[in-house]
Amino acid sequence: MELERTFDQWQERLADLGFASVQAWKAQHPGARVIGYFPVYAPAEIIHAAGMLPVGLSGGGDRLDIQHADARFGSFICSIIKTTLEMGLRDHLKVFDGILFSSICDSARNLCFVMKRNFPDLYTDFLHLPHNPSSTASVDFLASEYRRLIQELERIGGRAVTETSLQNAIALYNHNRQLIRSLYALRAQKPHVLRAWESYVLVRAGNLMPVEEHNALLEESLEQLAQRPGKPRDSIRVVVEGAFCEQPPLDLIKLVEDAGCYLVDDDFVIGRSWFTDDVPVDADPVHALAESYVNRAVYSSVRHDFRAPRWEGLAEKVKQSRADAVLFLIAKFCEPAYFDYVLFKKKLEEIGVPHLLLEFEEKQFTFDRVRTEVETFVESLVFD
């Protein structure tokens, strides 16, 4: 399929609150289960190895009015929490047989238990991801947590997760992450050939389809991109930080690019490229996944690692991508992102990297003020 058509088609599917592509998969696989997972990261390999379809949730976007969820949460909560619950209350999550949450923040933790109470027939689980990777117990702790998850999925799906099925799933997801890394490398090298919103759509599409199909989509797209002409624009190179969980409106990403920025790296949908290197395939696969979470994960505001400060990770990202500046794109009321903003800002000021903070919500339609802010920021750098 032509690249432009692929982008158009997936833009539509990502905005579809009815999960039509997931429903179609379920209809083609009678009896098979679908397990959704709330961002940021979930061990999709385990769900795949159980013969189920892992689906990454990304909130309700800008097409959902909140009618019921407000009554279950206070006002100062990010929009993805409310829209995810609203989707459940309005029957948009009917296709799911279970939903996984993890320890990314207090709001996500609360959402898990609010969902449990409101949907008692839905399998809702909370994964405790370790917060202290320096501890020698972290890997064993997470491996036991993953074994508990495996038992639950075996109970729901009635199919054993074998060592071979998990190793096969790890190999498929390793390949998936390699392809995403290639896409990002191409964008950093030739941002005029692949726009950030296009690569965003391609990567996020993987949240809604089997990994085998996503691998094929990425392979075909990379092949076509290698032939795609592109006219360089007069833009500054920018790294986006802070959009790791709730996702900004697609129109906002497009606007930032149109206002004079090449987005040469970002943390959009970061769970899909969570590991810096392949998860070992030959070893005990449960241990390998746990060990990779502890020792081979990207830096993130929801993963604490005292051995590798996150602000050093951002500084390294800026250096590797030869960025001129950092754009903090942070969801309104996102505590982990705002806590880290202070630390990131300090580091950037220390190394002399300019930065701009923009706040977003899922339901945002007017961008005039944002456009002016970005254009002013770009001009201040160009004419410096």
What residue ranges bind ligand SF4 (CB under 6 A)?
78, 80-81, 104-105, 107-108, 245-246, 302, 331, 334-337
Shortest spacing between CB 78 and ligand SF4, in angstroms = 3
Question: Which of 111/153 has CB closer to ligand SF4?
Answer: 111
Taking Cα atoms as reference points, which of 25, 4, 114 lies closest to residue 68?
114
Question: Which of 7/38 has CB closer to ligand SF4?
Answer: 38
Question: Which of 116/287 has CB closer to ligand SF4?
Answer: 116
Shortest spacing between CB 79 and ligand SF4, in angstroms = 8
User: Helix, strand or coil for residue 380?
Assistant: helix
Shortest spacing between CB 286 and ligand SF4, in angstroms = 26
Name residues whose C-beta falls within 8 Å of residue 337's C-beta, 6 or more positions apart in sequence.
242, 244, 245, 301, 328, 330, 331
Question: Which of 108/288 has CB closer to ligand SF4?
Answer: 108
Question: Which of 59/98 has CB closer to ligand SF4?
Answer: 59
Question: Which of 40/44 has CB closer to ligand SF4?
Answer: 40
Shortest spacing between CB 377 and ligand SF4, in angstroms = 23
Joined tokens for residue 161: 């997760």
Question: Which of 153/334 has CB closer to ligand SF4?
Answer: 334
Give the DSSP H or E segment for 340.
helix 335-351
Joined tokens for residue 381: 């750098």
Name residues whose C-beta falls within 8 Å of residue 332's C-beta, 6 or more positions apart in sequence.
78, 79, 359, 360, 361
E runs forming strands in the chain = 34-37, 53-56, 98-102, 123-127, 236-241, 261-265, 325-331, 355-360
Shortest spacing between CB 343 and ligand SF4, in angstroms = 16
The CA distance from 330 to 136, in Å, is 33
Shortest spacing between CB 90 and ligand SF4, in angstroms = 19
Name residues whose C-beta falls within 8 Å of residue 333's C-beta, 6 or more positions apart in sequence.
76, 77, 78, 107
Shortest spacing between CB 9 and ligand SF4, in angstroms = 27
Per the listing, tokens 């950037």 go with: 348
Joined tokens for residue 200: 């965003």
